[in-house]
Amino acid sequence: MTAGFLVASAFLASAVEFVEALTIVLAAGITRGWRSSLAGLGAATVALAAIVAALGPALTLIPIDALRLVVGALLLAFGLQWLRKAILRASGYKALHDEAEIFAREQADARAAGSEQRAGLDWYAFTLSFKGVLLEGLEVAFIVITFGSAQGSIGLAALGAAVALVLVAIVGIAVRGPLTRVPENTLKFAVGVMLTTFGIFWSTEGAGAHWPGDEASLPGVLAFVILLSAAAIATLKRRRQPAFA
Amino acid sequence: MNHIRAFGLFWWDFVVGDDWRAAAGVLLAIGLTAALVATGLDAWWLMPPAVAAVLALSLRRASR
């Protein structure tokens, strides 16, 4: 149950980030040329692999309670951000994330940028692709390392992220355009719920308290976060609707 | 130096985001849980309502 929850959480969170990275790589590739865009993607992938390889094993040396406290606090702060934005989007207080619009904006910026060649590469396309993949990838690395280390299984979390990467890459190559049909706002909401759930669970355990039934209480925490989010959306929607006279 | 600052800002924005009060509320709730545990009380029940309060206040600020 917990293993499935862990893989699903890492998969969903990573899929969202990979879709965003794909949009940037595609915008750079289509507008400025694939060679430089793919070189940026490759360089960022190597940098990310080095970061995960360095940090992952180091984290396993920290005592599990201290690790869960820090990871729980980080995940909770991070998860509440996602959840808050998702609730504001769902209730109409914030614009929905639109991958097609972001793609069009990135393409316009890429067309307007000047041409500078370095090491035989179009430097704009290389750096745009490199930065996009590195920043989105860092979020994936953070999620994989925190989820995996607190649960004692970085491998399972990495598996969820790897499946997401392969899936997004296959669909991206097939579509050759931004993945506008991916229900990104719903995915972001689900990720916010999962991050907050794990954050509540692990920060409590890290603080020294023990959940009744240990990990069996995770579905209860999940249900609580879902109900809390639904209530928040309903309240905010009600507040936005003008009252009938 | 600029790179170090940019790196620090990236992580601040990444973890804390645009509402530092929510992150502070999370830390306060964790500290309170640890303090209650230190007195011998298994305060597993504290974090869910604390998170509900932090989220509600954060949403209220954002939707004003």
Q: What is the DSSP string of A49-104?
A: HHHHHHHHHHHTTS-HHHHHHHHHHHHHHHHHHHHHHHHHHHTTSSPPP-HHHHHH
Which pLDDT score is estimated for A245?
Answer: 42
Q: Which of B13, B20, B26, B46 to mutate to test the interface with A (most CBs of A within 10 A)?
A: B26
State the Cα–Cα distance between residues A55 and A68, nearest whole angstrom. 16
**Yes or no, beta carbons of B34 and A207 under 8 Å apart:** yes
Q: What is the mean pLDDT of residues A228-245?
A: 81
Which pLDDT score is estimated for A4?
Answer: 81
Chain A partners within 8 Å of B51 (Cβ): 76, 80, 196, 200, 225, 228
Please classify residue A113 by burial: count the beta carbons closer than 10 Å to its beta carbon, then call 0-12 exposed, 13-18 middle and 19+ buried: middle
How close is the nearest chain A Cα to the Cα of B42, in Å? 5
Q: What is the mean pLDDT of residues A193-203?
A: 90
Which residue did the predictor score with more confidence, A66 or A126? A126
Q: How does the average pLDDT of chain B come out, rounded? A: 88
Q: Which of A55, A70, A80 to mutate to test the interface with B (most CBs of B within 10 A)?
A: A80
Least confident of A63-67, A87-91, A214-218, A232-236: A63-67
State the Cα–Cα distance between residues B64 and B50, nearest whole angstrom. 22
Which pLDDT score is estimated for A229?
Answer: 95
